[in-house]
Amino acid sequence: MARIALVTGGMGGIGTAICQKLADSGHTVVTTYSRPGKEVAWLADQKEQGYLFHAYQCDVADFESCQAMAAKVVAEVGPVDVLVNNAGITKDTTFRKMSKVDWDVVLRTDLDSVFNISKPFVDGMADRGFGRVINVSSINGQKGQFGQTNYSAAKAGMHGFTKALAQEVARKGVTVNTVSPGYIATEMVMAVKEEIRQSIIAGIPVNRLGKPEEIADLIAFLASDHAGFITGSNIAINGGQHMF
């Protein structure tokens, strides 16, 4: 069934794959961007590939900006049925060197954003009797990572958000789940030195990086009618790098 899906941070490597897969599944897809200008080239490139997406400027770390974006999306595109909280940043350094600014900006962008974006849409999903909230976390929110106390804390916080909200809206036909990717072959990962990349791969039991399309496939499934009995879950997709 065709529905409206909103993907935050949809112009990155994983985000683009999610947008495309949801569109392939029949959804009308809306995404967000933070800085004006980036969306023009991205939308043109996607159009060349046959994808017509809607894009709205939004600071996911700012509640009022999210409220304004949500109102425009509902008025101009329609009510959102599928929400993918994918936006995120890193500011890596050891805790000893980490500034309050580095802590705050990551927590606001990676965790506060999940509240800011979900808040305007979840009640509408519950009222209509269908909804999918999918939060994109990280393997490092499960196992931690040297130099990422801010990022790991934010991504771990998604799990608690998911489990609590899932219980509140389950009877309303709304599911809430988290996906935790491991190392994925995005432009950022592929740009690191070959020896570093190979050392990463050596720690992954399937002996390769994940593909953005694999993350997108999982999210498209969770967004579908077939996943109605999955809620409050965190699904690890990391090639066996972290098992629990």
**What is the chain's Cα-based Rg?**
17
Closest CA to 210 of 171, 163, 242, 233: 242
Round to whole Å and give the CA distance between 224 and 228. Answer: 8
CB neighbours of residue 86 within 10 Å:
26
Question: How many residues would you count in the chain?
Answer: 244
Residues with a known catalytic role:
151
Counting Cβ atoms within 10 Å, is residue 160 exposed (0-12), middle (13-18) or buried (19+)? exposed
